[in-house]
Amino acid sequence: MINVIAIFDIGKTNKKLFLFDEQYKIVWEQSDTCAQTIDEDGEPCEDIQRLTDWAYQSLATITALPDVHIKAINFSAYGASLVYIDQGGKPIAPLYNYLKAYPALLKDKFYDTYGGEITFSMLTASPVLESLNSGMQLYRIKEQQPDLFSRIRFALHLPQYFSFLLTNAVCSDITSIGCHTNLWNFSQRHYHEWVYREGMIDKLAPILPSTTVLPVQGWAIPLSGIGLHDSSAAMIPYQESFREPFVLISTGTWCISMNPFNDAPLTEAELQKDCLCYMSYQGRPIKASRLFAGHEHEQQVQRLAAHFQTSPARAAAVAFDADCVALLRTRDLSGPATASPVTVPAFHRRELTAFPTFEAAYHRLMMDIMGQQVESTRLVLHGTDTRRIFVDGGFGRNQVYMHLLARAFPDKEVFTASIPQATAMGAALAIHRHWNSGPLPGDIIELKYYD
C-alpha cells in the first residue's frame, strides 16, 4: 500500500478528486459534473444536495481502494459561494449562483450606509461585484428573507462545508473570507464593521489557520484540512518553491496577475482598473489585477475564423513571427502601452480586411491583448522589486503570447510554469507536515524560460 492524500477540487463546472502520493504525483483521479437546479426565483444554481451526495459516493469509492492508505484529505473550491446550514447541520437554502443579478436598490442602500462604494471597496479590497461579493448574498437574505435568515445557524464557504461533512466541525478560513467577499477589513485585520452591526458575525464560524487539520468522523481517513479558496490554493506550490519575489499570471477565461510580495493597500485608481486582493494561506494580502483576456481571445478567434473561412483551432498552431510583429507595429504607431485593462480591447475596432492572412491578424489580436496585459500586470508590479513572471494556464502554451510578454518585460525573467493540477496540489501542500514526513519535492513545477 502507498501513502496518499485525497483532495477534492470543486470547480464551477468540473468536480474532481485526486490521490497524491508522498512525492506529489497523481496516482488516482476522477472528474464528474453535477446537474444544476434552480433557486426560488427560477435562477440556475448548484444543487447542494446532489453535490453532497457526490462527495459521499466518491469517499466510499476511494476508501474501498485496496492499494492505498489515505492519510489525510483536504478541499479546494471556487469562491463567492455560501452554504447555509441550520442547527442540525443541514443545508436550508440554495447554493446561490454568484452570477445572480443583485437588486440595485438594496446594493445602493448597503453602500450608502457604509461609506460609499469607493471607501468601502478600499477597506475590504473588494471591487463592487454584487453577488460575487459573497457577504452581499448573506445581506440579501437578511433583508429579503428574514425568516430564512433567522433559521441559519452558520454560513459556510464552500470549501469549509466539505470539511464540515467529514469533521462535523464548523470553521471559517481566511483564504475564502479574504477573496472579494466584502467581509474583511484588510487594514485592521478583522471583519468589517458592517458584519457586526448587521448581526452577520453570529452566522460566521470561528476562523482557523488554513493549515489546520481536524479528526475525521465516520470514515477510514484520520485527518481533514479545513479547505481553501481555489485561487489561493493554486498559489501555494509557487510560494513553497520560490523565495525570490515573483508575479504569477494565472490565465484562463480571466488572466489574473497575482503578486504575493505586494501587500500595499489598494488605491482608488487600482480599484477602478479591476484590482483586488486575495489572501494567502498564511493570512497575508496578495495584490491582484484581473483582465478578461481569455474570453476576449476566444471571441475574436471565432471572428477571425469566420472571416478567413478556417477553423478556430488554427490559432493554436500559429508560430511567433518577429518580422510580422515589427511590420504590424510600423503600421500602428499607437503601441500597446496606451491600453487600459478596463477599456474595450483595440481589436474590436480593427477591420479584418486590413490583414492579408489569418496569421497576421492573429498576431495583431495578441499584440492588442498584450497591450492590456502589460498594463494589468504593471499594477501589481508597481513598488516592488519583483524580477520573475510565471505564466500558467492556457496562454502559457501560446507561443505568441509568451514571446510578446517577454519582449514587454525585458528587465524580468519570464517563464511558462506547468504544475499538474496546481489547485489540488496546493491544498495538499497546505497540510504537508500533518500527513507527509518527507521533504517537499523540488520538481513539482516545470519551467520554460522565454528570452
What is the DSSP annotation of 314-341?
Answer: GGGGPPP-HHHHHHHHHH-TT-GGG--T
Grid cell listed for 217: 468522523
Q: Please report which helix (H) or strand (E) contains residue 19, including its range.
A: strand 15-21
**Domain contains 302:** yes
Mean pLDDT per 10-residue segment, the chain (451 residues) = 96 94 96 94 96 97 96 95 97 96 98 96 94 97 98 98 98 95 94 97 97 96 97 93 94 91 90 91 93 94 98 97 95 60 85 96 96 96 94 94 98 94 95 95 93 89
Question: How far, in Å, CA of 194 to CA of 199, rounded?
Answer: 8
Domain containing residue 122:
2-226
Cβ atoms of residues 192 and 182 within 8 Å: yes
**What's the one-letter identity of residue 213?**
V
Question: How far, in Å, CA of 268 to CA of 118, rounded?
Answer: 7
**Predicted pLDDT at 393:** 87
Residue 4, beta-bridge partner list = 21, 70
Domain boundary among 168, 201, 226: 226
Co-location of 288 and 362 in the same domain = yes
**Predicted pLDDT at 63:** 97
Helix (H) and strand (E) counts in the chain: 16, 22
* pLDDT tens column, 236-249: 999 999 999 999 99
Co-location of 272 and 386 in the same domain = yes
Co-location of 123 and 140 in the same domain = yes
**Predicted pLDDT at 333:** 54
**Predicted pLDDT at 252:** 86
Given the C-alpha cell 483586488, which residue does it identify? 276
Cβ atoms of residues 120 and 157 within 8 Å: no
Q: Looking at 192-320, which runs of residues are DSSP E strands?
A: 207-208, 213-215, 223-225, 228-229, 246-251, 255-259, 275-279, 285-291
**What's the one-letter identity of residue 255?**
C
Co-location of 296 and 395 in the same domain = yes
Domain boundary among 193, 211, 226: 226
Co-location of 282 and 211 in the same domain = no
Which of 128, 109, 130, 132 lies closest to 120 in space, CA to CA? 128
